[in-house]
Structure 1
Amino acid sequence: MKRLLLCLGLAAAPFTAAAADAGRFDPARKAVEQGEFKAITSILVAQDGKVVYEHYFDAQGAQARRDTRSATKTVAGMLAGLAIADGHLPDASARVFDHLPPARRQNMQHPDPRKDAIRVEDLLTMSSLVECNDEQQFSRGNEERMYLIEDWVQFYVDLPVQGFPAWMPKPADSSRGRSFRYCTAGVTTLGEVIQTAVGEPLQAYAQRRLFDPLGITAPEWQLSPLGLAQAGGGLGLRTRDLWKLGQLYLDGGRVGGRQLVPATWVRQSLSPQASPREDADYGYLWWLMKVPDGDAVTIAPAMAGAGGNAVFLLPHKRAVVVITTTNYNERQPHALTFKLLTRDLIPAL
């Protein structure tokens, strides 16, 4: 589950937009059908709020709810913004333990004042001080260890504080003052923070405040063994649902003439908050990908999940691109998706 949405019904069979538009995307379709990008399951391209290309490469078609894997994390960031807008959380600086059941702190292993000071923003930017790193197999907080126990949130709460040996930059020495370490358990915990703050199950709040206004129906949530909706990954959404979520942020949080997510939250979410690597910055649970644009580089915010599943915002093209895959066991699946985007899809726009 490492790293990676207008309301129209579609038949389950493979669908392609009007031929006049679709022809521009023939090179992409042919490359996928010839296996160059392994197991791509769907592509949707929307420009100026309208679908200009849509194709399904598997038998499940348009109605299939795709496992978005870690693209779910971006949805958690949207819900955090809504919880703040609704007055359930003061702002992103809210302390996490002020909005978790008291037993979490009372039963904590490795108690530390620095853990008490963890804020919602730390979870949104993958930069809390506990030792949690999904990209390090020896990390105590690696998500694969979390799935072995019942209580996924307590798993995060019990983690010790990260140590910073001489060869590892301390947060104060890191870009934007944050030590980025990809941590699914932290976003899982953010889900319970939101749930506790709003006073209703996370999935019910998400449906009422986000999905219903967008016309997204019957999402398939993954649940923890204790019944918590997993904010950190696995949410099942249709390809058009993913487009609706991406279009919402491309449009500054507005849908149907209504401001659904505050514009200020959208701007904060799509602004660099941490710097995990040279080719990407990180916002509030959004990847900010650096995409070649002629002789320049443009920023493409992305929801991203394992296997190369992705929703890309292309502000310079006024476009949203959704790519779903089942490349979970392929080497560098995100690179395959990025190549499809930059070589075949962006030029067609």
Structure 2
Amino acid sequence: MAMGTPILPVLGQRSSTDTSDKFASDVIRKLDQAMAERRIWNLHGLVVVQNDNLIVERYFEGQDHERGVGDIGTVKFDANTIHDLRSCSKSIVALLYGIALQFGKVPAPEVSLISAFPEYDLANEQRSPITIHHALSMTMGTDWDETSLPYEDTRNSEIAMDSAPDRYRYILERPAIDTPGMHWTYCGGATALLARLISKGSGKSPHEFAREFLFEPLGMGPTKWATTQDGEPIAASGARMSVRDLAKIGTLMLHGGRHDDRQIVPAEWIRRCTTPTVSCDELRRYGYQWFLLDVSFGKPKGWAVGRLERMCMAQGEGGQRLYIIPALQLVIALTSGNYGTDDQGVPPTRILREVVLASIS
């Protein structure tokens, strides 16, 4: 744990203050209490950053699993331990796409998706209206189901994609069942197509591209990106990094894609990623591979719910989360080991609401 320690010193050296120390103490106290009461479980790492200062950093010991490898046993986590991000990887791919677009390596969002893959010769009346924008916002309108079936089920669309002789053809050949842009359907295949376009345009794997143009400019430590047995990148869920480095992604977002006087991701692209395109459900909206929602905090009066602010979120299976609340200049990054459980979303939500936001005076 650290109080008032700069996580990104180049963005401004700040000393510990009474306010930050009280915030940190309250977060730690509430976290310890919630864990003792088993309201939060299987937490591996937590980093809270506000105003570029590392407010809280906590690590624990627990069972872990690595995408593409399997169970890796009990791990004693620390600041240098890399961890699966699972579907938080999707949000990172969106940032990479914006960087590649800036370099002219990938087509613009308005371009037809099918035309970006001429090698498959799949143009028809149903698929022609689908654009890269629809892939970025997961509104392609094609038949895809990876939410109603467990990932162990071969009928799950993502598992079927992984098993297909050509994963990209499999995704592109899915039948059209809805008007593009009308509804949101969670689709790892969309992310795979985006990553493929980055590789086609840059000549680099998604991880190589990320290391050169995103991870290393941010000063990240070791990272990995899982691949399938045939060497294809698991774009939608294969990224691995430390929870502290995940927090750096959040801080980059807060600064509009800028770090150390360098514009790493175009500011306009950050805006597009965090602008609602479609509703996912009653609470969440979706931009470009990022979830968007409103959160309340503060002490309510009467029937009031407290202050409401927009939050940007990357989320991954097992309880991996990156929460970004621009109005509070707040980033919360956490990793967990609740893979494959029905209640895996409960601990991250409680950390957000009952531990961190409840500690803001």
Same fold (TM over 0.5): yes
What's the counterpart of residue 26 of structure 2? Answer: 24
CA distance 1:313–1:262, shift in 2 (3 Å): same
One-letter amino acid matched to 1:43: L
Q: Deviations over 1:30-77 (max 9, x none)?
A: 312543222111111000011000100121222111110000000110
Q: Deviations over 1:106-131 (max 9, x none)?
A: 4x5xx633324422211111111221
CA distance 1:156–1:144, shift in 2 (3 Å): same
For 1:203-218, list aligned pairs within 5 A. Answer: 203-218=207-222
Where structure 1 has 5 or more consecutive residues not aligned to the other structure, the ranges are: 1-5, 9-17, 165-169, 172-176
Contact 1:192/1:228 (<8 A) preserved: no
For 1:123-138, list aligned pairs within 5 A. Answer: 123-137=135-149
User: Larger deviation: 325-334 or 233-242?
Assistant: 325-334
1:56 aligns with 2:59: yes
What's the counterpart of residue 259 of structure 1? Answer: 263
User: Larger deviation: 286-295 or 252-261?
Assistant: 286-295
Residue 306 of structure 1: CA displacement?
Answer: 0.7
One-letter amino acid matched to 1:202: P
311, 315, 332: which one pairs with 1:300? Answer: 311
Where structure 2 has 5 or more consecutive residues not aligned to the other structure, the ranges are: 1-6, 10-19, 62-75, 298-304
**SS of equivalent residue, structure 2 residue 168:** helix
For 1:20 and 1:280, locate their aligned partners in 2 and report how far apart those are by CA, in whole Å: 31
**SS of equivalent residue, structure 2 residue 199:** helix
What's the counterpart of residue 152 of structure 1? Answer: 167
CA distance 1:160–1:336, shift in 2 (3 Å): same
Residue 240 of structure 1: CA displacement?
Answer: 0.9
201, 207, 218: which one pairs with 2:205? Answer: 201
Contact 1:187/1:231 (<8 A) preserved: yes
For 2:102 and 2:41, locate their aligned partners in 1 and report how far apart those are by CA, in whole Å: 42
User: Larger deviation: 227-236 or 19-28?
Assistant: 19-28
With a CA cutoff of 8 Å and minimum separation of 6, indicate the structure with the bigger relative contact order: 1
One-letter amino acid matched to 2:257: G
Residue 279 of structure 1: CA displacement?
Answer: 0.7
For 1:310-321, list aligned pairs within 5 A. Answer: 310-321=321-332
313, 331, 334: which one pairs with 1:323? Answer: 334
What's the counterpart of residue 251 of structure 2? Answer: 247
What's the counterpart of residue 50 of structure 2? Answer: 47
User: Larger deviation: 126-135 or 136-145?
Assistant: 136-145
For 1:94 and 1:303, locate their aligned partners in 2 and report how far apart those are by CA, in whole Å: 26
What's the counterpart of residue 83 of structure 1? Answer: 100
Residue 190 of structure 1: CA displacement?
Answer: 1.4
One-letter amino acid matched to 2:141: L
For 1:97 and 1:42, locate their aligned partners in 2 and report how far apart those are by CA, in whole Å: 41
Q: Deviations over 1:181-231 (max 9, x none)?
A: 001112112110111122322221111111110112331111133322222
One-letter amino acid matched to 1:89: V
Contact 2:258/2:264 (<8 A) preserved: yes
Q: Deviations over 1:295-342 (max 9, x none)?
A: 343221001101221000011211100121111133232233112211
